Amino acid sequence: MKRLLRPHNAELVPGVFCLGLGAYMLLDVWSKPGIATKAAVGPGLFPAIIGAGLAAVGAKLCHEAWRRRGQLEPFRELDLRAAFQGAIAFLVMILTLEWLGWVIAGSLMYATVAHAFGERRIGRSLALGLALTVVTWGLFDRVLDLALPVGTVVEQVLTHFGYEI
Amino acid sequence: MDTFSALMHGFSVATTIGNLGWCLLGVVLGTAIGVLPGIGPALTVALLLPVTYGMEPASAFIMFAGIYYGAMYGGSTTSILLNTPGESASIVTALDGHAMARQGRGAQALATAAIGSFVAGTIATAALTFVAPLMVKLALLFGPADYFALMVLALTTVTAVLGDSLSRGLASLLFGLALGLVGIDLQTGQARFTLGIPELLDGIDVVVVAVGLFAVGETLYTLARHRYENEEIYALKGSKWMDREDWRRSWRPWLRGTALGFPIGALPAGGSEIPTFLSYLTEKRLSKNPEEFGKGAIEAVAGPEAANNASAAGVLAPLLALGLPTSATAAIMLAAFQQYGIQPGPTLFDKQPELVWGLIASLYIGNLMLLVLNLPLAGVWVKVLAVPRPWLYAGILLFATMGAYTLNNNITDVVLLWIIGIIGFGMRCYDIPIAPCIVGLILGPLAEQQFRRALTISQGDATVFFTQPLSLSLLMIAAALVVLPMILRQRSKP
């Protein structure tokens, strides 16, 4: 990971991304059978233009990065571990959202992200997360009539104790 | 119905108790969220979109108008006290505003920003009242080819003017255009780039993209930079009011800023970055002590802030009259219209006069409310700024999730939010501007529609874009915007 993120390699990332996306789009358009249409322009022309544009810009970005390699100012300091922790916490919440429900999954994510930011009082973060999720759940679900997931597990537990959701 | 009686009718819609309440709520929420560091008006509007789902369209848009203006006010507080502009238009304010805050003149900087925003907002809203109907008349002359050329022009300015690297801007724009293609092609029913996921057939929601890029991407970036940043909030001390000297130095910049901001904002290719920079340069040139600029000159806060707010009103003219968003915030407002099945454009003024004029009338009211809220309550907003970063950003992620989930009540949108958030983090690390992506996403499908319509009318003859005077001149301006800076840069090189 470290080696990959060395300045001259890291600078290539946006270029390669655009190049790849552009190539994918062109291939996709090319592989689709033509649709018989009365309109002069089919559904493929615009994607082809944008795909070609992306590929061209990607090539340009790669070229720029390649030309400047070695003489780049060092990448701004980034604490990638913290960002990674935040991204994973967010992903875990998304994957458990419909299962654990908004309140539990949300509070756990809240505390983990706060921890990644350097907040060491986990109990406090959890309590705050709990308060925020409960209040927003109440507001959205009861007042604004928008559904936030209760969570299948939570529902089972609640029905077990005789509550109806 | 002439403009004046239409406006009066708008006021009768906007001043019902219910709508006044929505306007006040919008203004307070807009300011409170806009004040938070790293959150600009675009994200504020996107995050608060779900709150309006269950509302009447007219009330929803009245609330939006409040959020929009409120977020602009809130954003200037952050730039002045914290030096973290939430959007590119308040970068200029941050220069001298923050310098004033360091000298203990933060309250005066906030006051000149608030009063200047009020003056500019009111004059510009009045201008909007009369310019928008004129623009509608103009729009009726436009054919599909001209519309397409106009959109190309708007996309070009958003891309070429922002940021210092054209290729990065283009990368962002094209990525947004590509995201806009996802979903069913409305003319042929063919699914494009849906990867076999049924939820993608409806396309990618602009709210998911905006919240992903701005909120999730920004939070991850702040996480990565948190250890290296040292933030300092400067408390407000001493007199809260502007003295006679401050007033004397502020009023002309307010008016000049307004005069620059509204017309440029109202141009179909405007945006709010250019007028704020122009206003700064103008004030510096006209000032007797230009050496003060950059070190806390009140003119350098008064002018650009007025320009910023005036252009915010200006941007609404092409949005309402042509359906053409020229800033990230306007793009999200357009998405909000589409959510109600309303397509802004020339016909909107005929079909939904209550909504349009109610919205415009509430801009006047919201502006007044903001002035009243901001001057005495500046201290309250400063407290909002002091929320500890860990809790603030964790909370932003919670709200982002809520916004994405409640769009369609499915997890797919939230997963998309995560993916786009990671991409947004990358864009932040590489200094790739975000606005072109958002505007591209929302304008792309509209541009494609006009493009195909024009070619259908011309029976496939692609010269149609270059043979009509209007579309030809618009395309030439667009080309000039890209080529001229390149030539100038070449020349300035030895």
Residue A73 pLDDT: 55
Chain A environment of B168 (Cβ under 8 Å): 14, 61
Measured between CB atoms, does A1 come within 8 Å of chain B? no
Q: What element of type H or E holds B192?
A: strand B191-192
Residue B294 pLDDT: 80
Sequence-distant (6+) residues with CB within 8 A of B273 are B88, B89, B91, B161, B162
A82, B224: Cβ pair inside 8 Å? yes
What number is the average pLDDT over the span A72-98? 83
More confident residue, B488 or A71: B488
What number is the average pLDDT over the span A43-70? 86
Q: What is the DSSP letter of B201?
A: G
B241, burial (CB in 10 Å: exposed 0-12, middle 13-18, buried 19+):
exposed
Q: Which of residues 9-38 of A touch B (CB under 8 A)?
A: 11, 13-14, 17-18, 21-22, 25, 28, 32, 35, 37
For residues B36 and B51, what is the distance between their CA atoms, to the nearest angstrom? 18
Residue B164 pLDDT: 65
Measured between CB atoms, does A119 come within 8 Å of chain B? yes
Residue A34 pLDDT: 60
Measured between CB atoms, does A72 come within 8 Å of chain B? no
Q: What element of type H or E holds B183?
A: strand B183-184
Residue A2 pLDDT: 44
Residue B434 pLDDT: 85
Q: How would residue A3 be classed by pLDDT, with cut points 50, 70 and 90?
A: very low
Q: Are B62 and B26 in contact (CB under 8 A)?
A: yes
Which residues does chain B have with pLDDT short of 70? 1, 86, 88, 161-164, 231-239, 269-271, 492-494
Residue A57 pLDDT: 92
Q: Which of residues 79-98 of A touch B (CB under 8 A)?
A: 79-80, 82-83, 85-87, 90-91, 93-94, 97-98
Q: What are phi and psi of B195, to 5 degrees?
A: 55, 25
Q: Smallest Cα–Cα separation from B272: which of B444, B95, B90, B486?
A: B90
Residue length of chain A: 165
The listed range with the strongest mean pLDDT (A64-68, A82-86, B97-101) is A82-86
Q: Over pLDDT 90: what percentage of chain A?
A: 33
Residue A35 pLDDT: 57
B429, A76: Cβ pair inside 8 Å? yes
Measured between CB atoms, does A53 come within 8 Å of chain B? yes
Q: Smallest Cα–Cα separation from B78: which of B120, B118, B54, B44?
A: B44
Question: Which region holds residue A34: left if phi is over 0, alpha if psi is between -120 and 50, else beta?
Answer: beta
β-partners of residue B183 are B192
Cα-Cα end-to-end distance for chain B: 60
For residues B308 and B92, what is the distance between their CA atoms, to the nearest angstrom? 10
Residue B161 pLDDT: 66
Q: Smallest Cα–Cα separation from B250: which of B99, B107, B108?
A: B108
For residues A110 and B397, what is the distance between their CA atoms, to the nearest angstrom? 8
Residue A111 pLDDT: 93
Complex confidence, ipTM: 0.89
